[in-house]
Amino acid sequence: MRRIPALIVGGGPAGATLALHLARAGLPHLLLERSVETGDALCGGFLSGRTLAMLARMGIAADALNPAPVTRLRLLTRERVVEAPLRFPARAVSRRRLDTLMLDAAARAGAAIERGTGVRAVTGNVARLDDGRELAADAIFLATGKHELRGLSRPGDARGGDPAVGLRVRLSASAALDRSVGDTIELHLVDRGYAGLVRQEDGGANLCLAVRRSRLKQAGSPERLLAAIGAELPQLGERLAHRLSGSPVDAVANVPYGWRARNGRAGLFRLGDQAAVIPSVAGEGMAIAMASAAAAADAYATGGPNASIAFQRALARRLWRPVGIASAAWHLAERPGMAALALRAASARPQILSLLARLTRIDAALAG
C-alpha cells in the first residue's frame, strides 16, 4: 500500500486552493480529481469582491474570469422589486472556467494532481480508489463540495425534516437578457425557496433554485416546478423563456444549508461545503471554500496532521456569524409573507441589503 503525507480529495475551488498553497510551501501532497475533463458543476458561480481578492493572490485576475462586473443586487417578488449597489464589484463565472483556471494555477505552482481517479471510500486514514488501489495518508483534506464520501459523511442529521433541493438550468445569451438582467445578480423569492440569476462569461446566465423538497414533491417534477414558479413570478417566467434549447434541469438533493462541522478528528481537514454549507442566498460559498483551504494549509504547515482538530473548531467559530445570518435570511425569504415585509423594509431603507451582505461575508482573519 502506498503511503503519502497529504491526500486532497476533490479538485474544485477548495482542493485547488489547498494544492496551490501546499505546493508554494514545498509540502508534499497529492490531489485526486475524479473527472478527466473539467465539467460545469451545479453552482451559481457568483464570486464576491473578497473571493476575487483571494483569486488575485493565486494569480487569477477578475477579467480572466469574466470581463463584465456584477455591481447590483436585485430582489424580486410578485409585487415588489428592490435594488441596491454591491459594496465591491463581483463577477459570475461558470465552474468549468473557474475550476480550469484554478487547477492550472495550482499546477503551475508545482502541485501534484492526478485526474481521472476518484476516491470511493475512506476507512481510518486509508482511501480506497475507484480502480481498487489503496492509499494511506497522514492527513486527508476533504474537498468534495456538497457530495458525501463514504466513510466521511457529515455527522448527524444535517438535512432536517424538509431539506433543500438545488436545481439549475442555463439561459442562452441574448440582447433581451442583457437588458433585463444586465449587471445585476437577481434573487427571485418564491414560496419555500428562491431562484438566483446572474450572467456568466459567455453572456448566458445560470438560473439556480434552492427549494424545499416538499415544494418539488408538490409540483411532481423539476419541469413542472419551473413552470409553476414561472407563473408565480412573471418576471422569472420571462427569464425562463430564454432557457437554452435542450438544457437539462441539473439537480442535487438534500442540501444541508446552515450545517457546520463543529468538531474535528486527527488527520482530517474538512474544507468548503464539507466544513460549512452557507445558504446560497449569501453568494459566499466560493469564498468559504477558498478561505478554509488557505487556513487549512497554514494549520497543516504549522502543526501537521494533528492540527486538524483545532483548525476545525476555529473554522466553525469563525463561520458562525455568516452562516447563521445567511440561514436566518434564507428562512425569512422562503416565507412569502415575511419576504414581502422584508422587501418593504428594504425598499424604504436599501442600506439594509448592503448591511446584510457585509454580515454574511467571511471575516478578514479567515480570508487571510
Give the model confidence (pLDDT) of 48-77 as tens digits: 998 999 999 999 999 999 999 999 999 999
Q: Is the pLDDT of residue 338 over 50?
A: yes
Residue 158 has pLDDT above 70, yes or no: no
User: What predicted TM-score, i.e. pTM, was given to this entire model?
Assistant: 0.94
DSSP letters of 100-128?
HHHHHHHHHTT--EEES--EEEEETTEEE
Q: Is the pLDDT of residue 31 over 90?
A: yes
pLDDT (tens digit per residue) in 257-305: 999 999 899 999 999 999 999 998 888 999 999 999 999 999 999 999 9
- Rounded CA-CA distance 309/136 in Å is 19
* Burial of 220 from C-beta contacts in 10 A (0-12 / 13-18 / 19+): exposed
Residue % of the chain over a pLDDT of 90? 74
Contacts 24+ apart (CB under 8 A), 299-308: 299/269, 300/6, 300/22, 300/27, 300/139, 300/269, 301/22, 301/25, 301/27, 304/138, 304/139, 305/138, 305/139, 305/266, 305/267, 306/266, 306/267, 308/139, 308/264, 308/265, 308/266, 308/267, 308/268, 308/269
Question: According to the model, what pLDDT value does residue 214 have?
Answer: 94
As a whole-number percent, the residues of the chain with pLDDT over 70 amount to 97
The mean per-residue pLDDT over the stretch 26-33 comes to 98
- Of 159 and 21, more confident: 21
Average pLDDT, the chain: 91
pLDDT of 366 higher than 70: no
pLDDT at 355: 82
The grid coordinates of residue 236 equal 422569472
- Name the band, by pLDDT with cuts 50, 70 and 90, for residue 352: confident
Residues sharing a CB contact under 8 Å with residue 20, sequence separation 6 or more, in sequence order: 58, 102, 105, 106, 109, 111
Say which residue, 43 or 241, is predicted with more confidence: 241
Confidence check: pLDDT of 16 > 50: yes
How many Å apart are CA 204 and CA 159, to the nearest integer? 32
pLDDT of residue 13 exceeding 50, the answer is: yes
Q: How confident is the model over 24-52, as a mean pLDDT? A: 91
Under 8 Å CB-to-CB from 224, ≥6 apart: which residues? none
Q: Which helix (H) or strand (E) holds 71?
A: strand 70-76
Cα separation, 46 vs 40, in Å, equals 14
- How much is the average pLDDT of 121-127? 94
> CA dihedral defined by 346, 208, 276, 123, rounded to 10 degrees?
170
- pLDDT higher than 70, residue 184: yes
CA–CA dist 35, 334 (Å, integer)? 35
Query: For the residues 158-184, what does the mean pLDDT come to?
Result: 88
Query: Looking at residue 159, what is its pLDDT?
Result: 54
Q: How many CB atoms lie within 10 A of CB 153?
A: 10
Position 359 scores a pLDDT of 83
Locate cell 446584510: which residue? 356
Q: CA–CA separation, 137 vs 118, rounded Å?
A: 15
Q: Is the pLDDT of residue 365 over 50?
A: no
Banded model confidence at residue 157, pLDDT cuts 50, 70, 90:
low
Q: What is the CATH number of domain 2-42+96-159+257-367?
A: 3.50.50.60
